A and B are shown apart, each in its own frame.
Chain A
Protein backbone atom coordinates (compact mmCIF):
# COMPACT_ATOMS: atom_id res chain seq x y z
CA UNK A 1 0.00 0.00 0.00
CA UNK A 2 1.79 3.09 -1.23
CA UNK A 3 -0.25 6.27 -0.99
CA UNK A 4 1.24 9.14 -3.03
CA UNK A 5 1.99 12.39 -1.31
CA UNK A 6 -0.39 14.53 -3.33
CA UNK A 7 -3.47 12.62 -2.16
CA UNK A 8 -2.46 13.15 1.49
CA UNK A 9 -1.98 16.87 0.87
CA UNK A 10 -5.30 17.17 -0.93
CA UNK A 11 -7.20 15.44 1.90
CA UNK A 12 -5.49 17.68 4.48
CA UNK A 13 -6.27 20.82 2.48
CA UNK A 14 -9.97 19.97 2.12
CA UNK A 15 -10.20 19.11 5.83
CA UNK A 16 -8.55 22.41 6.82
CA UNK A 17 -10.90 24.36 4.52
CA UNK A 18 -14.01 22.72 6.02
CA UNK A 19 -12.70 23.28 9.56
CA UNK A 20 -11.89 26.95 8.87
CA UNK A 21 -15.47 27.80 7.93
CA UNK A 22 -17.21 25.69 10.60
CA UNK A 23 -15.27 26.69 13.75
CA UNK A 24 -17.24 29.24 15.79
CA UNK A 25 -14.30 30.98 17.45
CA UNK A 26 -12.86 33.45 14.94
CA UNK A 27 -9.27 33.27 16.23
CA UNK A 28 -9.32 29.47 15.84
CA UNK A 29 -10.70 29.85 12.33
CA UNK A 30 -7.83 32.21 11.45
CA UNK A 31 -5.24 29.78 12.83
CA UNK A 32 -6.78 26.91 10.83
CA UNK A 33 -6.61 29.14 7.76
CA UNK A 34 -2.89 29.60 8.39
CA UNK A 35 -2.49 25.82 8.47
CA UNK A 36 -4.48 25.65 5.21
CA UNK A 37 -2.10 28.13 3.58
CA UNK A 38 0.90 26.13 4.75
CA UNK A 39 -0.47 22.86 3.35
CA UNK A 40 -1.23 24.66 0.09
CA UNK A 41 2.40 25.84 0.03
CA UNK A 42 3.62 22.25 0.48
CA UNK A 43 1.31 21.15 -2.33
CA UNK A 44 2.78 23.73 -4.71
CA UNK A 45 6.32 22.69 -3.83
CA UNK A 46 5.24 19.15 -4.65
CA UNK A 47 3.80 20.31 -8.00
CA UNK A 48 7.17 21.85 -8.91
CA UNK A 49 6.25 25.52 -8.51
CA UNK A 50 8.97 26.49 -6.02
CA UNK A 51 8.75 30.26 -6.60
CA UNK A 52 5.00 30.21 -6.00
CA UNK A 53 5.56 28.11 -2.87
CA UNK A 54 8.08 30.64 -1.50
CA UNK A 55 5.68 33.50 -2.17
CA UNK A 56 2.75 31.67 -0.59
CA UNK A 57 4.73 30.74 2.53
CA UNK A 58 5.94 34.29 3.09
CA UNK A 59 3.03 36.38 1.85
CA UNK A 60 -0.15 34.40 2.38
CA UNK A 61 0.75 32.20 5.37
CA UNK A 62 2.74 35.02 7.00
CA UNK A 63 1.34 38.45 6.23
CA UNK A 64 -2.21 37.24 5.58
CA UNK A 65 -2.45 35.46 8.94
CA UNK A 66 -0.99 38.50 10.71
CA UNK A 67 -3.54 40.81 9.04
CA UNK A 68 -6.43 38.51 9.98
CA UNK A 69 -5.24 38.18 13.61
CA UNK A 70 -4.92 41.97 13.86
CA UNK A 71 -8.45 42.40 12.50
CA UNK A 72 -9.86 39.83 14.95
CA UNK A 73 -8.09 41.52 17.87
CA UNK A 74 -9.45 44.90 16.79
CA UNK A 75 -13.03 43.60 16.55
CA UNK A 76 -14.43 40.55 18.36
CA UNK A 77 -13.74 36.83 18.62
CA UNK A 78 -17.33 35.67 18.79
CA UNK A 79 -19.42 34.65 15.82
CA UNK A 80 -22.86 33.12 15.57
CA UNK A 81 -22.03 30.59 12.85
Chain B
Protein backbone atom coordinates (compact mmCIF):
# COMPACT_ATOMS: atom_id res chain seq x y z
CA UNK B 1 0.00 0.00 0.00
CA UNK B 2 2.87 2.37 0.75
CA UNK B 3 4.34 1.42 -2.61
CA UNK B 4 1.11 2.33 -4.44
CA UNK B 5 0.81 5.68 -2.64
CA UNK B 6 4.43 6.51 -3.44
CA UNK B 7 4.20 5.69 -7.14
CA UNK B 8 0.62 6.14 -8.42
CA UNK B 9 1.35 9.62 -9.83
CA UNK B 10 3.95 8.12 -12.16
CA UNK B 11 1.42 5.55 -13.34
CA UNK B 12 -1.11 8.24 -14.24
CA UNK B 13 1.54 10.04 -16.32
CA UNK B 14 2.32 6.75 -18.07
CA UNK B 15 -1.39 6.19 -18.80
CA UNK B 16 -1.58 9.67 -20.37
CA UNK B 17 1.48 8.87 -22.46
CA UNK B 18 -0.09 5.57 -23.60
CA UNK B 19 -3.27 7.40 -24.72
CA UNK B 20 -1.20 9.78 -26.86
CA UNK B 21 0.93 6.95 -28.26
CA UNK B 22 -2.15 4.91 -29.21
CA UNK B 23 -3.66 7.94 -30.97
CA UNK B 24 -0.44 8.49 -32.92
CA UNK B 25 -0.29 4.87 -34.09
CA UNK B 26 -3.88 3.73 -34.60
CA UNK B 27 -5.92 6.77 -35.62
CA UNK B 28 -6.01 7.38 -39.35
CA UNK B 29 -7.05 11.04 -39.31
CA UNK B 30 -4.11 13.45 -39.45
CA UNK B 31 -5.60 16.00 -37.00
CA UNK B 32 -6.25 13.16 -34.53
CA UNK B 33 -2.60 12.14 -34.85
CA UNK B 34 -1.52 15.71 -34.08
CA UNK B 35 -3.83 15.81 -31.03
CA UNK B 36 -2.22 12.56 -29.86
CA UNK B 37 1.24 14.10 -30.28
CA UNK B 38 0.15 17.06 -28.14
CA UNK B 39 -1.10 14.72 -25.39
CA UNK B 40 2.18 12.76 -25.51
CA UNK B 41 4.26 15.95 -25.15
CA UNK B 42 2.16 17.22 -22.26
CA UNK B 43 2.52 13.91 -20.42
CA UNK B 44 6.32 14.03 -20.68
CA UNK B 45 6.38 17.68 -19.52
CA UNK B 46 4.11 16.76 -16.60
CA UNK B 47 6.52 13.99 -15.59
CA UNK B 48 9.46 16.42 -15.59
CA UNK B 49 7.61 19.10 -13.60
CA UNK B 50 6.52 16.54 -11.01
CA UNK B 51 10.17 15.68 -10.36
CA UNK B 52 10.64 19.22 -9.03
CA UNK B 53 7.99 18.71 -6.34
CA UNK B 54 9.08 18.31 -2.72
CA UNK B 55 6.70 17.05 -0.08
CA UNK B 56 6.73 18.54 3.39
CA UNK B 57 6.14 22.28 3.30
CA UNK B 58 8.23 23.43 0.34
CA UNK B 59 6.97 26.69 -1.19
CA UNK B 60 7.21 28.26 -4.64
CA UNK B 61 10.72 29.07 -5.93
CA UNK B 62 10.29 32.80 -5.24
CA UNK B 63 12.23 34.54 -2.48
CA UNK B 64 10.24 36.53 0.05
CA UNK B 65 11.13 39.99 1.28
CA UNK B 66 12.76 38.72 4.48
CA UNK B 67 15.00 36.36 2.51
CA UNK B 68 16.11 39.13 0.20
CA UNK B 69 17.47 41.22 3.07
CA UNK B 70 19.41 38.34 4.54
CA UNK B 71 17.54 38.08 7.81
CA UNK B 72 18.00 34.31 7.92
CA UNK B 73 19.86 31.77 5.85
CA UNK B 74 18.10 30.20 2.87
CA UNK B 75 17.19 26.56 3.45
CA UNK B 76 17.32 24.44 0.29
CA UNK B 77 14.49 22.12 1.41
CA UNK B 78 12.23 25.14 1.86
CA UNK B 79 11.94 25.88 -1.88
CA UNK B 80 10.89 23.76 -4.85
CA UNK B 81 13.50 22.78 -7.40
CA UNK B 82 13.53 25.58 -10.04
CA UNK B 83 15.57 23.75 -12.68
CA UNK B 84 12.90 21.43 -14.22
CA UNK B 85 10.50 24.38 -14.39
CA UNK B 86 12.97 26.32 -16.54
CA UNK B 87 13.64 23.39 -18.87
CA UNK B 88 9.93 22.67 -19.34
CA UNK B 89 9.19 26.36 -19.97
CA UNK B 90 11.40 25.97 -23.04
CA UNK B 91 9.80 22.63 -23.98
CA UNK B 92 6.23 24.07 -24.01
CA UNK B 93 7.21 26.76 -26.50
CA UNK B 94 9.02 24.22 -28.70
CA UNK B 95 5.92 21.98 -28.60
CA UNK B 96 3.81 24.86 -29.96
CA UNK B 97 6.37 25.30 -32.77
CA UNK B 98 6.13 21.63 -33.75
CA UNK B 99 2.31 21.84 -33.59
CA UNK B 100 2.33 24.75 -36.02
CA UNK B 101 4.60 23.02 -38.53
CA UNK B 102 2.58 19.77 -38.31
CA UNK B 103 -0.68 21.63 -38.93
CA UNK B 104 0.87 23.44 -41.89
CA UNK B 105 1.88 20.10 -43.43
CA UNK B 106 -1.65 18.71 -42.80
CA UNK B 107 -3.22 21.73 -44.56
CA UNK B 108 -0.83 21.21 -47.51
CA UNK B 109 -1.89 17.56 -47.80
CA UNK B 110 -5.57 18.53 -47.68
CA UNK B 111 -5.04 21.04 -50.49
CA UNK B 112 -3.41 18.42 -52.66
CA UNK B 113 -5.51 15.29 -51.93
CA UNK B 114 -8.80 16.82 -50.54
CA UNK B 115 -8.92 14.39 -47.63
CA UNK B 116 -7.36 14.02 -44.19
CA UNK B 117 -7.65 10.23 -43.88
CA UNK B 118 -4.39 8.37 -44.10
CA UNK B 119 -5.66 5.33 -46.05
CA UNK B 120 -7.33 7.50 -48.73
CA UNK B 121 -4.11 9.50 -49.14
CA UNK B 122 -2.15 6.24 -49.56
CA UNK B 123 -4.69 5.08 -52.14
CA UNK B 124 -4.38 8.36 -54.06
CA UNK B 125 -0.59 8.18 -54.10
CA UNK B 126 -0.51 4.70 -55.69
Contact = CB atoms under 8 A, between A and B. Distances in A.
Q: Do chains A and B touch in the complex (CB under 8 A)?
A: yes
Interface of A: 6, 10, 13-14, 17-18, 20-21, 26, 29-30, 33, 36-37, 40, 43-44, 47-52, 55-56, 59-60, 63-64, 67-68, 70-72, 74-76, 79-81
B27 A14 contact: no
Contact of A17 (B31, B39, B115, B117): B39
A55 B100 contact: no
Contact of A81 (B29, B100, B107, B110): B29
A6 B5 CA distance: 13
B85 A75 contact: no
Interface of B: 9, 12, 15-16, 19-20, 22-23, 27-29, 31-32, 34-36, 38-39, 42, 45-46, 49-50, 52-53, 58-61, 80, 85, 88-89, 92-93, 95-96, 99-100, 103, 106-107, 110, 115-117
B31 A29 contact: yes
Contacts of A67: 96, 99-100, 103
> What's the dominant secondary structure at chain B's contact region?
helix
B39 A20 contact: yes
22 contacts: A10-B9, A13-B16, A18-B19, A21-B32, A21-B36, A21-B39, A29-B35, A33-B35, A48-B60, A48-B61, A51-B85, A55-B89, A55-B92, A60-B38, A60-B95, A64-B96, A67-B100, A68-B34, A75-B106, A75-B107, A79-B31, A79-B116
Which 7 pairs from chain A and chain B are nearest by CB? A79-B29, A71-B103, A75-B110, A21-B23, A17-B19, A48-B80, A10-B12
Given A17-B39, A67-B96, A72-B31, 16 more contacts: A17-B16, A29-B32, A30-B35, A33-B35, A36-B42, A44-B46, A47-B49, A47-B52, A67-B100, A68-B34, A71-B31, A71-B106, A76-B116, A80-B29, A80-B117, A81-B28
